[in-house]
Each structure stands twice: as C-alpha cells, then as structure tokens.
Structure 1
Amino acid sequence: MDGSGTQVLEEIVRTYRQRGVRIFFSRGPARRDHPVWHLMERSGIVALCGGESHFVMDVEEALRWTEYEESIGVRSGASSAQD
C-alpha cells in the first residue's frame, strides 16, 4: 500500500465511523514492524478505528471485542469517531 492507497482507506474508514460503524482489521500487517502498519498509524487510521485493539487476528476476535466494547458502553456512533 502506498500513500494514495492509505488516503483512500482513511477516507473509507472515516466515512464508516461517521455512520456509527465499528471498524476492525483482521490478518493485517504485524503491529509496529511492518511498513503498512506505519502508514496506517501515521495517516491516523489506527486511531480512527479505535486503536491497536481494533487490529485483530481473526473475525472471532473482532466479534469478541465488539461484545466487550458494548458491555462497557463504548459508543460506536459518529460522536466517538474522530473528525
């Protein structure tokens, strides 16, 4: 992924967050030691998604995180997304 791909992905993530959709990435680049991770972090995608906890190994883990966030009252609405 290059800079323009990162920009497009950031716009997609931002749009979905503004609609109240939780965003998780699974099977993505290893945290902190992969160039794609650095691009996603520098572009703000990591923070926009909800932080490193939204980068998971598989769909089941994403579902567990969603259930956990709902149980502690983490909002998925537009007000919790960065502008």
Structure 2
Amino acid sequence: MHKHQDLTPEEVDRVIEMAWEDRTPFEAIELQVGLKEKEVVKLMRREMKRSSFTMWRKRVSGRKTKHSRKRSPRVERFKAPDQKRISY
C-alpha cells in the first residue's frame, strides 16, 4: 500500500486525473494506486492550489459516481469512454 508521499510524479498525476474524473470512484483509485479516499484528499490538498482544491471538493462531495456503493448498479465502468486507457 502506498502513502501519497511515496508516489512517483507520474503516479501523482494519474491520481489527480482519476480524482477529477467524475466516473472514477475512489475505490478504483485505491485498487490501482493503493490510496484510500482520505489519502487522495490529502494528496489533492497538497498538490493543488487552494481554490482548485476547494472547487474539486465541492464537486466530489456527495457525488454518487465517486463512490461505488452509491452508484446505480447499471454503471459498470469506472471511467469515461474518452478517458485514457487504464493499465492494471
């Protein structure tokens, strides 16, 4: 399991990209990178400008697609069709 301080710059960029993507749940980030939601929030707070972090938190707070448990069972994928191919 990674701590956000141990990630490579490429992994940090990938986590930020997945965190911004509406269809990528935190569980997918944990599966791929090993960071739980709280750790993703810490990483985002550390890596982003304050205003960008605040805007991101407002977007993801309560968003059903960011949590697998809250999603509709009809949603079977965790990325948008135009998102980069996820390798794992």
Same topology, TM > 0.5: no
Higher RCO (Cα < 8 Å, 6 or more apart): 1
Greater percentage in strand = 1
